[in-house]
Each structure stands twice: as C-alpha cells, then as structure tokens.
Amino acid sequence: MTTKTQTVCRGRPCAFNKEETLGKALELFWRNGYEGTSLSDLTKVMGINKPSLYSAFGNKEQLFLQAIDLYEKRPDAFFYPAMEQKTAYLVVQSMLRGAADRMANADHPQGCVTVHGALSCSEASATVKDALVKRRLDGQQALQKRFEQAQQDGDLPQHVDAAILSRYIGTVLQGMSVQANNGASTEDLYAVADMVLQNFPKA
Amino acid sequence: MTTKTQTVCRGRPCAFNKEETLGKALELFWRNGYEGTSLSDLTKVMGINKPSLYSAFGNKEQLFLQAIDLYEKRPDAFFYPAMEQKTAYLVVQSMLRGAADRMANADHPQGCVTVHGALSCSEASATVKDALVKRRLDGQQALQKRFEQAQQDGDLPQHVDAAILSRYIGTVLQGMSVQANNGASTEDLYAVADMVLQNFPKA
DNA sequence: TTAATTTTGTACTGATCGGTAAAATTGATG
DNA sequence: CATCAATTTTACCGATCAGTACAAAATTAA
C-alpha cells in the first residue's frame, strides 16, 4: 500500500508520478479498449517497465479498474457533477451538453470510456466488462434518484416514471458515445441534445 | 470464387455449408467482438479446421466482414426493412420496436453487432472498426433520405431538420444497443422507444 | 484404374500475449 | 562508509495469437 505522493519511505524512490502515469494508461484504454491495449503499448506510453507497472498497479485488469476510477474523478467529468443542478431539466441540460462537449473533444479519445472500454470482449475479460456495466447502471440509478428528488421538489411532474426517464437519458448518452466514435462533432451532438431537451417533461 | 451451394466441381467436396458456418462465426463475433474472438474459438464453434476457414473465407478480417454482411441480410434484420413503412412515424416506430425486440432477444447475443463488433480496438484492427463506422453512417444517411422523402410526401413537417432527426434516432438505436448489453429487457427498451415516439414530430 | 483436383486433418511457424525471476541501481538510515 | 529496503532494468516464462506447409483423403475425369 503506497500512497500517491512519496511517503517518507526507505529504499529507492519511485521514479514516476503514479496518478499522471495512470492518466496515460487511461488515455490508451479509452482509445483502444481493454483488450485492444497491450502491456507493451501501456509501458511504452506510461514510460515505465512492466515490473514497475505490476508493483504499482497490480496487473492489467486492476490497472484498468483504477484508470476507470480516475476517469470518473477527473476534473472534466460531467455526469455526476451535473446531478447538482437545481432542477431535473437543468441536470439533464448540463449532462447532455457536457457529454456533447467532452465526447467529441479532440484533446482525448472520443466517446466515454465506460461505454468504449469493453463493450464486447472475450470471456477472459468478463470481470472488466461486468465492472463497466455496473458503472453504467450505477449512474443510471443515481439519475433516477435525482429525478425522484426533483418530483419531491416539484420541478418534475409526478406522472413521469423516473426509472424510464433515467433509462431514456442513459440511452441517449450512451448513443452519443457511439456517435462520437462515428466522428460526430460537438455541434452535431449539441443538436441531438437540444432535441431531447425540447421534449423534456416540464413542471 | 466458390458459389455457396456446391457447384459441379472436381476434387473433394466441401464438407460444410458455408452460410450456416458463417452464421456461427457471426454469433461469436456478435457476442465477443472482433478482437475478443480468436481463431481457435471460431474453428471450434464453426466445426471446421483453420485451413478450411482460410480457404473458404480468406482470413479473420474478411470472415468478419462477411459475417456482418450476413447480419444485415438475415431474416430478422429490422433496420432497412423498417424503411419501407408508409410514413416517417411508422418507419421510426417499426425501427425502435424492432430494435427493442431483437436487441434483447435471448436467442442470440444482445445488442447490435454493428455497434458491439469493434467499437474500440487496437490499431491493427482499424480496418474492421472503420467498416463498422461506415455501416452505421450509411444507415443513418439512408434514414435521413427516408425522412426527406417523408417531407415530400407530407407526413413529416417541413421545419424538421432531417439530418438532425436521423442522427437523433441513430443515437437512440445505438444507445439501445448498449442498454441491451447492460441487461435491459425488451420491455425496458419498449418504454424507451415509446418515449421517443411520443415526442416524434407529427405532420 | 489412373490421373487430376480440391479439401481435409495434423503439425508447425514466428510474433506477441500477460506476467515474473533475478540482479543491478538508488537512496535513506545507522 | 556499510546496511537495508525499495525500485529499477534485463531477460526470460509458458500460453496463445493469426496464419500456413504438407501430406492424406475424397471426389471427378479420363
């Protein structure tokens, strides 16, 4: 158990910044998927050798899971932060526009790594696939809870089924991830987002 | 160039039905993706040896592309057939309900192989990924043309942007594929489809 | 029967896969 | 300076990857 910044430790100090290195792994997994990324690719991009990678992150699978953790916590994550908007409409607006901005951003791979990381894979990688499915379902459920809260707050009509609405928004977000993979621009995705927002149930 | 049924040929006859065998390859690619499927997996499920596979289908990449061709032409394909409905609304209704039915059908892998086959992959498989992107864009463009026809027919309002509407529907369909991968049932997907249909622009 | 032709099963190729053993290197501690 | 602990580099492991050489088997044509 090593802490990220160098704790006062004996022995040779770690020559790389763990979080920064993990970010490079994330970028690679994001672009090429879990099975499309090899350890040689990883060590090359991360700038470390395999034994360093294994001692710092465990193995390929654990490295991936840690990269996904970083993905959801990184500064320009948009999903969970959007949940803090004041009304259901504003939550969805922030979420869809955030998705349009980020998913087609050329500074990093297109789409969402939670969708692209391991949508289909061999049975050997089932653990990773299941972890991503769980992330997606967790996000959807959190959104459902947010909609239920909005109904209590009075900014989302009572007749709306929060489970179905959150599934619908989740569907659009995941579809936008595929669209970004198709080469859709932020502008293209904004148009889709607006279409959803125009029909969003009003209080 | 061998034709599918046995042409009158010299030499030892082919011991397997090419299209049927291709169907088994499709099922495997569909479930595990292009890179998640190995030649050993393929030969095992197809019931043939590697030299037979190579002489009949070329190589792994060409086998995949032929499997995708089969996918779009198989009896329970839903996308292009839906295009023949009489109005834009009916086209979309048929498309979304067909997707809900087929994508969560337990008789075969969930979702759409055009989305799941190679969403992310190593650069070595870029050809396959690009082929799938092209399929998705082709489908979306065909839908756009259908919407433009509907506007001429008078069953879709003129003010609607056919390009944006087709992108929106494509987004939902692709999102439904991910939802099916998450374990969503046909019922779940129907609810999403209904949500889209309720807000679909009326003539 | 024999020759020609095609597919079959077996066994193999070099390359790469994820993962690790072992020794050299680095730095803090005494 | 010597000791100890951790990380580094180098080299390797068995397994699997996609793809193929080759000869036995099966069929038609002569």
**What does the pLDDT look like over A103-149, one tens digit per residue?**
999 999 999 999 999 999 999 999 999 999 999 999 999 999 999 99
Q: Counting Cβ atoms within 10 Å, is residue A116 exposed (0-12), middle (13-18) or buried (19+)? A: buried
Report which residue type is found at B90: L
> Is the full-model pTM beyond 0.85?
yes
Tell me the C-alpha distance between A45 and A42, whole Å. 5
Query: B191 — contact with chain A (CB < 8 Å)?
Result: yes
Give the pLDDT confidence score for residue B43 in this predicted structure: 98
Closest B-chain CA to A160: B195
pLDDT for the residue numbered A8: 57
Ramachandran category for residue B2: left, alpha or beta (phi over 0 → left; psi -120 to 50 → alpha):
beta
Distance CA B56, CA B66 (A): 11
Distance B34 CA to D18 C1' (A): 13
pLDDT at B165: 98
Q: Which residue is nearest to nucleotide D7 (CA to C1')?
A: A12
Residue A3, pLDDT above cutoff 70: no
In order along chain B (203 residues), what is the average pLDDT of each group of 10 residues? 48 94 98 98 98 98 98 96 98 98 98 98 98 98 98 98 98 98 98 98 85
Q: Choose from B123, B140, B171 for mutation: most chain A CBs within 10 A.
A: B171
Provide the residue count of chain B: 203
- Could you read off the pLDDT of B28-69 as tens digits, one per residue? 999 999 999 999 999 999 999 999 999 999 999 999 999 999
